[in-house]
Chains A and B, each alone.
Chain A
Amino acid sequence: MPEGLQILIENFFDWESALRAWPLLVQGLALTAALAATALPLGLLLGLLIGLGCALGGRLARVALIVWIDLFRAFPVLVLLILIYYGLPFLGLSLPAFAAAVLALVLNNSGYYGEIFRAGLASVPHGQREAAAALGLTPLRAAWLVVLPQALRAVAAPLASNSLELVKATSVAALAALPELLRSARVAQEQTYNPTPLMMAALLYFVLLWPFAHLVARLERRMLAREAR
């Protein structure tokens, strides 16, 4: 075997380090999944409420919500996390790392999801609402039964793409001392003096997320094809 390849295998695919790191990585993966499973629905819900608020609220509400959206889209999620986890305790508000990470992810994504839902709802022609009103639907029922389904179809691609980004962003919690997958891999690397655990974490992320990345790419291609016509 060429020497370079041997060094590569010994360092990045070392079987013994892999066996030692495995339990730690499984624990980390469980925490990553828990983070995503908590933050994703909450972020979606808050974003949907913001989008509906923009569509149904008055002018003042709309301006306030757009300011909210843009503020949270402008902050890197790590900056939010550091503010919440290391900054808030000075106010006497100490959140556990898990709650701080969920809060940072939800606030950050409320901006992204809010903008997606807002744009989607705005893209449905006004005549749809008028027709629903003419049929005797209340504004809320019209929004839920007529406008929202059409809006969702229009924004399927960004919605899927943002959800994938949210799951990927859970890795940022590593920097608030939360032992999710990435941090567990770093800890394992320091125990084994070998970057194999990092390689394993990368492979785990890839194997688990790639189907979704593929789906997102397909949805984005469809959206572009619609726009090019």
Chain B
Amino acid sequence: MSGFAEHYLNLEVLAQYGPGILGGLWVTIGVAATTVVLGIGFGLLLAVLVAARIRLLRWPILAWIETFRTLPQLAVIIFVYFGLPYAGLTISPFWATAGALGAVLSAFAAEIFRSAIQALPSGQWDAAAALGLRFRTTFFLVILPQAVRLAIPLLTNRAIAIIKGTALGTAVSLPEILGRAQSAMAIAANPSPLTLAAALYLVLFLPLVIASRWLEASRVVPR
């Protein structure tokens, strides 16, 4: 047991490298928050543009949704960071990770919003028309609020799954929790930094997972 503790809970190693790894926590939170804002904001915009039936934008938007919903997150991050510089676009690890994850989340969010808008019974449109509401008023005040509510459980689960991808930033030398823990492990020749990293991820994501469970339980049970 003492051998286990020496390897995985070595206080000396933790005292030396702990503060650095804790610093990575802020990078992880920063990337995650940026991803959520970019992804859900842009996803909602895309869904609204699709609903507005602007013909010129239809195919580019569909291509965006299909591409980023289908490709693995890590492949997108790697492509943005190692591929785009050849097109003259050099991007920092922070923006490569947040931008790539944001693009992925925006595709899922757009698809979820779009499905939710379509899923609402057409009686909602008819009722609004009967009340004399115009298309725009109906869409933004009647349809969209209901669609967003319908979309929330799916969207929350997806957003949590995608922001867990911040750890992938380590592939493009983003100094977040996992990347810092890995280099500390290599220097100290001891895996205690990894234990700390694992604990930090639990502190960060376990509340989100439990919150999503609570959200799921409060929604209508599928019949």
Task: List 6 tightest A-B contacts by C-beta distance, closest first.
Answer: A168-B72, A195-B83, A224-B119, A171-B72, A228-B119, A74-B205
Q: Can you show 16 pairs from A to B with CB atoms below 8 A apart?
A: A11-B86, A11-B87, A74-B202, A75-B198, A75-B202, A76-B166, A76-B178, A79-B178, A83-B198, A86-B182, A86-B185, A87-B185, A171-B75, A182-B72, A198-B79, A225-B119
| Residues of B149-178 whose CB lies within 8 A of A | 150-151, 154, 161, 164-168, 170-171, 178
Closest B residue to A154 by CB, please name it. B222
- The interface stretch among A18-26, A51-59, A130-138, A202-210 is A202-210
Residues of B171-223 contacting chain A, CB below 8 A: 171, 178, 182, 185, 190-191, 194-195, 197-198, 201-202, 205-206, 208-210, 213, 216, 219-223
- Please indicate the chain B residues that have their CB under 8 angstroms from the CB of A74 in the complex: 201-202, 205-206, 208-209
B2 close to chain A: CB less than 8 A: no
Q: A74-B205, A186-B78 are in contact. Are A82 and B222 (CB under 8 A)?
A: no
Q: What number of A-B contacts does a CB cutoff of 8 Å give?
A: 158
Query: In the complex, how many residues of chain B place their beta carbon closer than 8 angstroms to a beta carbon of chain A?
Result: 61
- Shortest beta-carbon distance from B103 to chain A in Å: 13
CB 8 Å contact bits of B90-129 with A (1 = contact, 0 = none): 0000000000000000000001100110111100000000
Provide the bound-state CA to CA distance between A198 and B80, in Å.
Answer: 10
Which of A91, A169, A170, A221 is B115 in contact with, Cβ under 8 Å?
A221
Q: A87 with B75: in contact, given A70-B210, A228-B119, A228-B121 (CB under 8 Å)?
A: no
